[in-house]
Structure 1
Amino acid sequence: MKRKFPAVIIALLLVGLAAYQMIQNEREVSAAGSIRPPEMARNKPVPSFTLKALDGKGYEVGGEREKPLIVNFWASWCGPCHEEAPDLKRMYDKYGGQMDLYSVNVTKDDRLEDVKGFVKKYDLSFPVLLDQKGTSAELYRILFVPTSFLIDKHGILRDVIHVLPPDLLEQRIQLLINS
């Protein structure tokens, strides 16, 4: 019995610590007056947001639409985003009539002149939305860039991808278009 006593004490301390952290997290959410963003789950509706783009227009994500949508979160300082940009451009040039692509710059952590330089460098013709406060990135729980959400025309999340080789990216886009 004496040998089990330390293990029991450690287990009780761990349970107590976990309970304390859970209570603290709930208090922080209540104190902030905010609710956690919804979980991003495949085959579930995506959260809605509207952002202004470099072209000055507002673009809406979420809900029913005429075509499927890819929402790509990125930043100009991100190396993998530079790798991915030419492939996204090629896919948009090829499938733009069958899908929309909104490129969401996490502007809160970027500089507008760098964003414009990136768009010019890769000759991007799809809308480049500016998430200046980071609220859309937070809503979509962006932990790193690039992250793309493939959303069907009913506003349902079908896939989440990061940088893929061009052939796999095209396969995922074709699946989205045919969903």
Structure 2
Amino acid sequence: MKRNFPVLLIALILTGLAAYQMIQNGQEVRAAGGIRPPEMARNKPVPSFTLQGLDGKGYQIGGEREKPLIVNFWASWCGPCHEEAPDLKRMFDKYGEHFDLYSVNVTRDDRLEDVKGFVKKYDLSFPVLLDQKGTTAELYRILFVPTSFLVDKHGILRDVIHVLPPEMLEKRIQLLINSQG
């Protein structure tokens, strides 16, 4: 127990900091007369957005689609993102005809050269979108990366995941593909 105390203390501090930031962000939005981002909840529509990809094309999320979608938020400096990238690539290579994968780089907190290096290192073949101002990450209430949203073809949030072992990731993707949503 004594060895776990520092870890528990750090986790408690980080949780408190995240809660404080969420409260502050909400107060800033209200003070500015803005509208709070919609709640992210399973079985509810995801917020719509459009971002430009590294390929120069615009990509839109929200509403009806031909296939289910995974929206993966990440950054090149994030260790768990490096851990997750090869598994996402394998799953996309294996099941990509049955779902779309949009990899959203939180570019505000990253460098474009590092983003391009990450994409090259892992040979990512799915669209990499650039959230240059961080507004999409805020809209989706991203507190840490990586975070992935599994969205059915009707634009409904089905699941939120972080780094998973490959077999669990595959099961979640299969559930998304097979959902009747």
Structure 2 unaligned runs (5+)?
Answer: 1-23
**Counterparts in 2 of 1:34 and 1:173: CA distance versus 1, 3 Å:** same
Call closer, same or farther: CA 1:96–1:28 in 2, change over 3 Å.
closer
Identity fraction in percent: 88
Rate the CA distance shift 1:153–1:55 in 2: closer, same or farther, 3 A: same
What SS does the aligned partner of 1:170 have?
A: helix
Cα distance, 1:25 vs. partner? 8.4
- Pairwise mapping of residues 80-99 of structure 1 onto structure 2 (< 5 A)? 80-99=80-99
Letter in structure 2 aligned against 1:55: D
Mapping for residues 26-37 of structure 1, pairs under 5 Å: 28-37=28-37
How far, CA to CA, are the matches of 1:172 and 1:27 in structure 2? 35
CA gap of 1:53–1:26, structure 2 versus 1, over 3 A, is closer
1:159 aligns with 2:132: no
Q: Given the alignment of the two structures, is residue 75 of structure 1 paired with residue 75 of structure 2, yes or no?
A: yes
- TM-score, normalised relative to structure 2: 0.84
Tell me which structure has the larger Cα radius of gyration.
1
The whole-number CA distance in structure 1 between the counterparts of 2:48 and 2:140 is 10
| Cα displacement string for residues 54-103 of structure 1 (whole angstroms, at most 9, x for unaligned residues) | 00000001100000000000000000000000000000000100000000
1:30 Cα deviation after fit: 3.7
CA distance in 2, matches of 1:25, 1:77: 24
The Cα of 1:146 is off from its aligned counterpart by 0.1
CA offsets per residue over residues 116-166 of structure 1, 9 Å max, x none? 000000000000000000010000000000000000000000000000000
User: How many matched pairs?
Assistant: 156
Deviation at 1:28, TM superposition (A): 4.3
Q: Partners of 1:107 and 1:141 in 2: how far apart?
A: 15
1:41: which partner in 2?
41
For the aligned residue pairs, the C-alpha RMSD in angstroms reads 1.4
CA apart distance, 1:27: 6.6
Query: Partner amino acid for 1:163?
Result: V
Q: CA deviation at 1:31?
A: 3.0
Distance 1:70 1:33, change over 3 A: same
Query: Secondary structure in 2 aligned to 1:150?
Result: strand
In structure 1, C-alpha distance between the alignment counterparts of 2:47 and 2:154, rounded to whole Å: 12
Counterparts of 1:129-140 in structure 2, within 5 Å, are 129-140=129-140
- Match for residue 172 of structure 2? 172
**AA aligned opposite 1:59:** Y
